[in-house]
């Protein structure tokens, strides 16, 4: 690699301007000057310097910490983001210094506050320097840099002739370590291309976990070798709401999603919902039913009618096979075991089931994660509860927090992306609430539920259930613009929470989304550009 670098440098010094693409035929579109704080999520600290504007030019290089393959990888991703619209070569050079104007991505040397996920970004006339302790922090910094450039940077074609980055310093790091999104593949299947397109959008807003709801009453969407009919039948033709299946992820597909997300510093969390929400498995394998009779497949939207057979050892052989195979292809720390709406399971059976299953998650090296109902089973204190209630009290949850369990906040009437914006929304449900952008933004994860304070909250997650959603456009229309609201609640300080500021910054995202062809909902609450 060294040799390539030297050659590239020599080329750059000698004749690079000669090989630059011709200037675009059309005049550069005008765009307002960006400000350092015009970013979502809002950065912790910004110190603008009006004299420090940097212009990306044909000579700019992206320099990364020598010897760090991961920093170089972040540099390559940044180059790939910036090349189409600028038309500049932006070589990525893992070298100690260059005589050229540079965007430097450096491991180490940042403000001590940035921790494991944050970054420091400095812009002067001579260049941009992003410093972080980890590649994840560098990646977060490059997502900020992207938003500091004119919106045309998102264009797939060369657009304009000047690319200014506003001068000054940003020191930025998250309020919560966990900022998640969830996608439901069971009610309607979503392909690898759709999932990875969603990953691209999530990563721009510093989301670092994607939870995949892989199984439910309507469909089973992940290959399990020891129970092969789960996918060929349970994920086969006619599965999904309204019977529009088939669809499932092979293990190769799943690994491809994991790797794609990892390259964008997003960790995949798989969910197998149990002991309820299991009709797809039970209609495929009769032995998973207490009476040995497979119920018919279901393609309606009802919930709470299915239950695995709690006092049958075959159930636990099945569950252990699934957990073992899934853990083996999941590098992330969490395995989600569902546990919601088990209305067809008695309370006693529910506890019995969870006390058998929770140790299996640990046996295969994973940390158990489940909907808040799992706290009724007194799980070990490293188990994480996902709060999805609409109220502000939950005794089981508060007691679990007192024992030491941590919580992810997904209140259904605030954070559910499948809820309609208002009564006219074409897609989505409304059982929890209508959720306009101001509702999605207008709550605090650390004061939402009594007894669940800042230290008990690991973070936030925005679930997107797919009963009414089929296409990527459908997903985008429900997630945008509310997903960025949840992302800001997870990243930015409570002190910076400010609706007027947020809605203005949100409005400025619209030109980017248009260029990225994101089918967002143009909420009347937002001053769209």
Q: Which residues are annotated as catalytic?
A: 341
Q: Which two tokens stand for residue 152?
A: 């045309």
- For the chain, the residue count is 529
Whole-angstrom Cα distance, residue 90 to residue 56? Answer: 9
Least gap, CB of 233 to ligand TNX (angstroms): 21
Contact 359, 335 (CB under 8 A): no
Q: Is 340 in the site for ligand TNX (CB under 6 A)?
A: yes
Q: Which two tokens stand for residue 227?
A: 């129970």
Q: Is 164 in the site for ligand TNX (CB under 6 A)?
A: no
Whole-angstrom Cα distance, residue 176 to residue 442? Answer: 17
Beta-sheet pairing, 406-409 with 384-387: parallel
Least gap, CB of 301 to ligand TNX (angstroms): 8
* Positions 343 through 372 that interact with ligand TNX (CB under 6 A): 371
Q: Which is nearer to ligand TNX, 36 or 412 (CB)?
A: 412
Beta-sheet pairing, 127-132 with 119-124: antiparallel
Least gap, CB of 318 to ligand TNX (angstroms): 21
Least gap, CB of 65 to ligand TNX (angstroms): 43
* Positions 377 through 416 that interact with ligand TNX (CB under 6 A): 388, 412, 416
Out of 325, 418, 436, 474, the residue judged to bind ligand TNX by CB under 6 A: 418
How many residues bind to ligand TNX according to rule CB under 6 A? 11
Least gap, CB of 397 to ligand TNX (angstroms): 14
Q: Is 303 in the site for ligand TNX (CB under 6 A)?
A: yes
CB neighbours of 26 closer than 8 A, spacing ≥ 6? none
Least gap, CB of 455 to ligand TNX (angstroms): 24
Return the percent helix, strand and coil in the chain, to nearest 5: 35, 15, 45
Whole-angstrom Cα distance, residue 379 to residue 384? Answer: 9
Q: How many CA atoms lie within 13 A of 128 on its CB side?
A: 30
Q: Which is nearer to ligand TNX, 154 or 467 (CB)?
A: 467
Q: Which residue in 322, 318, 300, 296 sits closest to 309, CA to CA?
A: 318
Q: What x-and-dash track marks residues 13-52 binding ligand TNX by CB under 6 A?
A: ----------------------------------------
3-state class of 495 per DSSP?
helix
List 527's β-bridge partners, or say none.
Answer: none
- Per-residue DSSP letter, 33: P
* Positions 458 through 487 that interact with ligand TNX (CB under 6 A): 465, 467
Q: Which is nearer to ligand TNX, 344 or 429 (CB)?
A: 429
Q: Which residue in 126, 208, 132, 200 sits closest to 170, CA to CA?
A: 132
Q: Which is nearer to ligand TNX, 371 or 421 (CB)?
A: 371
Out of 429, 433, 446, 515, the residue judged to bind ligand TNX by CB under 6 A: 429
Contact positions vs ligand TNX (CB under 6 A)? 303, 340-341, 371, 388, 412, 416, 418, 429, 465, 467
């Amino acid at each position: 690699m060294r040799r390539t670098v030297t050659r590239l440098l020599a080329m750059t010094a000698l004749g690079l301007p000669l090989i630059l693409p011709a200037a675009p035929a059309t005049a550069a579109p005008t765009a307002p000057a960006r400000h350092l704080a015009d970013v979502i999520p809002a950065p912790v600290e910004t110190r603008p310097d009006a004299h420090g504007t940097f212009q990306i030019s044909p000579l700019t290089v992206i320099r990364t910490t020598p010897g760090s393959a991961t920093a170089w990888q972040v540099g390559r991703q940044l180059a790939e983001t910036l090349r189409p619209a600028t038309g500049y070569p932006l070589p990525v050079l893992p070298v100690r210094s260059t005589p050229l104007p540079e965007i430097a991505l450096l491991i180490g040397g940042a403000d001590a506050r940035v921790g494991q996920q944050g970054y420091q970004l400095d812009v002067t006339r001579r260049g941009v320097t992003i410093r972080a302790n980890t590649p994840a922090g560098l990646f977060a910094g490059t997502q900020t840099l992207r938003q500091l450039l004119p919106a045309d940077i998102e264009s797939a074609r060369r657009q304009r002739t000047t690319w200014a980055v506003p001068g000054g310093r940003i020191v930025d790091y998250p309020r919560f370590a966990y900022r998640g999104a969830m996608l439901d593949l069971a009610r309607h299947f979503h392909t690898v291309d759709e999932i990875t397109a969603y990953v691209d959008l999530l990563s721009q807003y510093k989301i670092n976990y994607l939870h995949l709801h892989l199984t439910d009453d309507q469909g089973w969407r992940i290959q399990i070798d020891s129970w092969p009919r789960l996918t060929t039948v349970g994920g086969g033709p006619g599965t999904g709401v309204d019977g529009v299946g088939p669809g499932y992820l092979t293990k190769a597909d799943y690994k491809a999603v994991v790797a794609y997300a990892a390259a964008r510093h997003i960790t995949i969390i798989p969910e197998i919902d149990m002991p309820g929400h299991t009709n797809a498995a039970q209609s495929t394998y009769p032995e998973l039913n207490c009476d040995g009779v497979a119920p018919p497949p279901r393609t309606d939207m009802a919930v709470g009618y299915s239950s695995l057979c709690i006092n049958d050892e075959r159930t636990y052989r099945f569950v252990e096979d699934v957990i073992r195979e899934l853990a083996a292809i999941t590098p992330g720390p969490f395995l989600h075991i569902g546990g919601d709406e088990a209305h067809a399971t008695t309370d006693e059976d529910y506890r019995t089931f969870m006390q058998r299953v929770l140790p299996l998650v640990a046996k295969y090296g994973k940390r158990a994660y489940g909907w808040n109902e799992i706290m009724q089973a007194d799980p070990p204190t490293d188990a994480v509860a996902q709060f999805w209630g609409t109220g502000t009290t939950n005794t089981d949850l508060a007691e679990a927090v007192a024992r030491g369990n941590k919580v992810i906040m997904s209140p259904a009437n605030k954070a559910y992306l499948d809820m309609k914006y208002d009564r006219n929304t074409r897609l989505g449900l409304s059982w929890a609430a209508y959720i306009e952008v101001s509702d999605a933004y207008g709550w605090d994860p650390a004061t939402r539920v009594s007894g669940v304070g800042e230290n008990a909250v690991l973070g936030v997650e925005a679930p997107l259930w797919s009963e009414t959603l089929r296409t990527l456009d459908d997903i985008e229309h429900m997630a945008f613009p509310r997903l960025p609201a949840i992302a800001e609640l997870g990243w930015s300080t409570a002190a910076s929470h400010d609706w007027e500021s947020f809605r203005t910054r949100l409005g400025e995202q619209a030109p980017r989304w248009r260029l990225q062809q994101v089918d967002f909902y143009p909420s009347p609450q937002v001053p769209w550009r």
